[in-house]
Chain A
Amino acid sequence: MIRIPRTVVPAAVCLTALALLTACTAGAATTSAGGYGAGMQQMPGMQAPMTLAMPQPITANPNDPMKSQLRGAKTFDLGLMLVDGTGYTIYRYDRDSTNPSRSNCNDACAAKWIPVKTGGPAPIDVDQSLIGQITRDDGTQQATLAGWPLYHFVGDSEPADTSGQGADQAWYPIAPDGKKITLTQDQWRENAFGL
């Protein structure tokens, strides 16, 4: 009969093509693995003690007056952001009130969200008229910006770290004008520096 060769021919073509394809993709995968690996350059002779460790938890030096300094910083991905004198991010809490200024974060909450103390060095790049202070329920003083009580996040471990952003859908880094920063780092800007 004529029908038998009819099915055999295309089947053979298909099988040959399949064999070729698998052989080729396998070959391509192995060839792409090579490259121009730039090795890590190490100088083992120069062992130095690290006195200025980074990352460093926010709790490492709680009485550092620089932690109470307010400073405006221009980040390339989040825009203007309020930080302390050591560059650590300062947050605001949506459940606080601004008029009058009042903190609704006490006890366990305040252990996680550390109130920013008052009495630091003069602010830099922040409108002095926006800065104020409140007396907390435990009698301590807390700095405010545009009425918002200010906090550090215990999970931040380096300057400009924003690990607390979006926590409880109420905690956000604060901008020098008092607005909250909801933009996140994964929203890349193609030309972040405007170069």
Chain B
Amino acid sequence: MLSASEFAGPELLPPPPLERSRPLVRILFVLVAVLTLLASVSPASIAQTNAVSPEDAVLLTKVRQAGLWEMPSGMMAMQKGSPKVQAVGFAIMMDHGRLDVATRALSQKLNSPVPDQPSDEQRGWLLEEMNAPPGPSFDSVFANRLRAAHGQVFAILAQLRAGTRNDDVRAFATVGNQAVMRHMTMLESTGMVDYTALPAPAVSTTAAPVGQPLGLDSSQIAVVAALFLLVGGGLFYVLRQIKGNRSRARATRRPAGVRTGGSHG
């Protein structure tokens, strides 16, 4: 067919419709293939922000269970504590009520079930509070047990707040983190907290690297390389088609009847 260019004449006639559209169809096909591939790649990366990791589920569970024992603790503080502890107990109870509303809503939204009972350890603390006589004895048990428990949850919340891939969990951890910070401060304001009884912070004092460098890992590099090949190959092909199209167009500048008796002319 290309040899037909020899017959190029002075007449400027459009190529036959079929002949003209074939390269276009091919170009479109390549474009569609590239777009389909790109589309099939992107949902995977978006889905990561909606998926619930096991760590996300742990956070929901921890906040839920914190509420399940601290709300009764707060209620008890309002009955058995000194005036200062009564006020702290009420504020903690209310915050955990609101946090629990958020926890249940998020648990439902992310389809990540949460327990409806405090842990056995937390029940033990509740029992301790129940057995403590009203006044300073109760104040001490209340402030120290809650302060220690908040310290534990604080670390979990901080890790999830820093590293979760889930947008909802991140927003939730932001508020939860602030709540726990506030509660620790309020509990300490009772003057009852024995800091030496708290676990020592587990922080490395050596100059540890701040996590992995932010470089791409090998799989990401491969994806980029594949995309490069794909897009580059597609572009190359499109250019060649356009070029071919032009030369073919030139080839058809010839008397109508020379090559075929087609419908054109």
A residues near B (Cβ < 8 Å) are 1-2, 6-7, 9-10, 13-14, 16-18, 20-21, 23-25, 27-29, 31-32, 35-38, 40-55, 71, 73-78, 83, 85-87, 158-162, 185-186, 188-193, 195
Contacts and interface: CB of A to CB of B under 8 A. Distances in A.
3 A-B pairs closest in CB distance: A160-B97, A13-B233, A46-B124
Contacts of B105: 185-186
Among A10, A87, A190, chain B packs the most CB atoms within 10 A around the CB of: A10
A78 B71 CA distance: 18
Given A16-B229, A52-B76, A160 B234 contact: no
A23 to B, nearest CB: 8
A195 B90 contact: no
B121 interface: yes
Nearest to A77: B98
A51 to B, nearest CB: 7
A74 B237 CA distance: 66
B113 to A, nearest CB: 13
Given A52-B76, A77-B98, A46 B178 contact: no
A87 B124 contact: no
B219 A195 contact: no
B24 interface: no
B181 A195 contact: yes
B169 interface: no
Nearest to B34: A14
B226 A20 contact: yes
A36 B55 contact: yes
B219 A24 contact: yes
B130 A185 contact: no
Contact of B222 (A24, A42, A75): A24
B97 A190 contact: no
Contacts of A55: 116
B120 A44 contact: yes
B4 interface: no
A188 to B, nearest CB: 5
B176 to A, nearest CB: 10
Interface of B: 1-2, 26, 30, 33-34, 37, 40-41, 44, 48, 53-55, 58, 61, 67-68, 71-72, 74-76, 78, 90-91, 93-98, 100-102, 105, 116-121, 123-124, 126-127, 130, 156, 159, 171, 174-175, 178-179, 181-182, 219-220, 222-223, 225-227, 229-230, 233-234, 236-237, 240, 244
Contact of B178 (A14, A16, A40, A195): A195
Contacts of A42: 119-121
Contacts of A186: 105
Contact of B72 (A35, A52, A188): A52
Contacts of B101: 160-162, 185
A129 B75 CA distance: 27
A184 B242 CA distance: 58
A10 B233 contact: yes
A188 B175 contact: yes
Given A29-B44, A87-B94, A193 B123 contact: no
A185 B37 contact: no
A52 to B, nearest CB: 4
Contact of B120 (A9, A47, A160): A47
B234 A46 contact: no
Given A6-B240, A21-B37, A21-B223, A159 B94 contact: yes
B87 to A, nearest CB: 9
B61 A40 contact: yes
Contacts of A160: 93-95, 97-98, 101
B219 A78 contact: no
Contacts of A18: 37, 226, 230
